Amino acid sequence: MSGFSSHPGKHGMSLHRNGAALITGASSGIGAAYAERLARRGYDLTLVARNRRRLDALAARISDETGRGVEVLQADLGNKEGLARVETALKQDASLTMLVNNARVGALMRLTYAAAVVFAARGHGAIINIPSVAAIAFVLTFSQSLHHEFGDKGVRVQVVLPGATSTAVMRVGEMVDAALAGLDLGELVTIPSLPHDA
């Protein structure tokens, strides 16, 4: 079983205005917030997570609200088969222009590098890495290295350091809005929970 299902949106299969974004860890929290925000920006989506029921519910809601095409790919990135399925999707789906990598470190590295190679071959694409607190230093160094290797090939790399998200400091949706604003500005590193000077 491939683990794929599709929610074409209320207007049938949607046109790829911005292309499509593949989002890991998409069934809740930061990943779900990215899915909602990117669909509103005109991206079609491929949502990846282990929980098929949550993925299907989120996909249906986003598709109904935005009219974007949303595919679901159920995969456990902690095992080789799940990781390989997502790598294959990155390599074979020509509509993909963005990877939002909200996965554990080993999967994050493999998927990031797979996407970077594909996006560089096409001459454009964006990769957003969201590390766990324990992996911040490693993912930051890894992403800076990718930026130097692929930046002149049309691949934008961003590391988002969520900090105190989901607390009184900043809600998840606000964090994603701030992170996407940082991406629009071309930031390599975005720390959206830092307070702005009044």
Q: What is the pLDDT of residues 12-37, one digit of tens each?
A: 444 445 899 999 999 989 999 999 99
Average pLDDT over residues 82-86: 95
Sheet hosting strand 155-160, strand order edge to edge:
4-7, 70-74, 44-49, 20-24, 96-101, 125-129, 155-160, 189-190
For the chain, give the secondary structure using H, E and C. CCCEEEECCCCCCCCCCCCEEEEECCCCHHHHHHHHHHHHCCCEEEEEECCHHHHHHHHHHHHHHHCCCEEEEECCCCCHHHHHHHHHHHHHCCCEEEEEECCCHHHHHHHHHHHHHHHHHHCCEEEEECCCHHHHHHHHHHHHHHHHHHHHHCEEEEEECCCCECCCCECHHHHHHHHHHHHHCCCCEECCCCCCCC
Q: What is the mean pLDDT of residues 70-86?
A: 95
The arithmetic mean of pLDDT across residues 100-124, rounded, is: 93
Taking Cα atoms as reference points, which of 127, 104, 126, 131 lies closest to residue 191? 131
CA distance 68 to 37: 12
pLDDT of residue 143: 95
Do 85 and 2 meet the contact criterion of CB atoms below 8 Å apart? yes
pTM over 0.95: no
Q: Which residue has the higher pLDDT, 168 or 72?
A: 72
pLDDT for position 97: 96
Which own/partner contact pairs does 148-152 have at CB distance under 8 Å and 24+ positions apart? Answer: 149/116, 150/116, 150/119, 150/120
Residues 138-182 pLDDT 10s: 999 999 999 999 999 999 999 998 765 554 456 888 889 999 999
pLDDT of amino acid 10:
42
Name all domains of the chain by residue range, CATH numbers in brackets.
4-190 (3.40.50.720)
Over residues 117-136, the pLDDT tens digits come to 999 999 999 999 999 888 88
Query: Mean per-residue pLDDT for 171-197?
Result: 85
Q: Tell me, what's the pLDDT at 169?
A: 56
**Amino acid 191: pLDDT:** 87
